[in-house]
Amino acid sequence: MSIVIPAHNEARVIGRLLDGLLDAADPDEFDIVVVPNGCTDETAQVAASYGPSVRVVESPEASKAAALKLGDEAARGFPRLYVDADVELRTEDVRALAAALDRPDVAAAAPSRRLDMTGRAWPVRSYYRVWTRLPEVQRGLFGRGVVGVTAAGHARLAALPHVIADDLASSLAFDAEERTVVDSAVVVVHPPRTLGDLLRRRERAAAGVEQLEEANLSQPGGSARTSPSDLLAMVRSEPRLAPHMAVFLSVTVLARARRARRKGDYSTWQRDESSRT
């Protein structure tokens, strides 16, 4: 099984991910390829310090799309996992994903997510109280930092255009019967720490959805947008969510307003540094 990890200035967190992946792995069980791209820190050196267990393929270009392409060219096997450098994933989680991808009806898989809310501001905690309950967020493969595919699933991804919301595009490339969220595999995701950081991340997410819609792609997975009726149903079933829904909607409106000022700009990367501390 190959694991491709694009990494731009991730020296602070790449070791955390690699420690988890290799902790209980057998020798040569995983083919791990780290692609430091456009780095000005020691990402490559940290990854290389793991010896033959990790192959490092450097790129001078700061581009996730280009890094994924390089990683694909270097990767040796299937199923194949694409993992963001700032999440945490363990050996047993990878094995559970591999087992799911061995099923004949599954082309793509992702782990269940656990958000580390330690030290997060109250608006951030409030926002994610709602976000994690959204139907498409629960069903989709996006927002987890990990997507796994079979060889056939990989061919589907290879045909997609390069977009900001690559994980969302990857999820929508498969219909509900072809993809699965594996409950026995868990990825730890580190959300933004402050409201400002959250707004930057949500602005980037809005740009990704906008870009996908402008591309007018016909994808089996349909749309990941949540309808007002879904939000209303959530509050009716859980009245205690009402104040959190107010925060969620406020953040959504503010992020879209900020995005409107940058409409058509898909090159500015709204990177959240706070989740990497």
> Which residue's entry shows tokens 């992702």?
110
Q: Report the pLDDT value the prediction gives residue 76, as an integer from 0 to 100.
A: 93
Q: Report the pLDDT value the prediction gives residue 260, as an integer from 0 to 100.
A: 74
Closest CA to 89 of 179, 189, 181, 2: 189
Q: Report the pLDDT value the prediction gives residue 265, as an integer from 0 to 100.
A: 61
d(CA 190, CA 187): 10
d(CA 163, CA 264): 13
Cβ–Cβ under 8 Å, residues 29 and 3: no
Q: Report the pLDDT value the prediction gives residue 212, as an integer from 0 to 100.
A: 76
Q: Report the pLDDT value the prediction gives residue 164, as an integer from 0 to 100.
A: 63
Q: Are strands 80-83 and 146-149 parallel, antiparallel or unpaired?
A: antiparallel
Cβ–Cβ under 8 Å, residues 54 and 8: no
Cα 101 to the chain's mean position, in Å?
Answer: 18
| 3-class DSSP state of 146 | strand
Enumerate residue ranges in the chain where pLDDT < 70. Answer: 163-165, 213, 215-224, 261, 264-271
For 201, half-sphere exposure in the C-beta direction (CA atoms, 13 angstrom radius) is: 17
Q: Report the pLDDT value the prediction gives residue 256, as an integer from 0 to 100.
A: 87
Strand partners, 148: 81, 109
> Which residue's entry shows tokens 């069903």?
139
Residue type, 136: E
Q: Report the pLDDT value the prediction gives residue 159, as an integer from 0 to 100.
A: 83
| 3-class DSSP state of 4 | strand
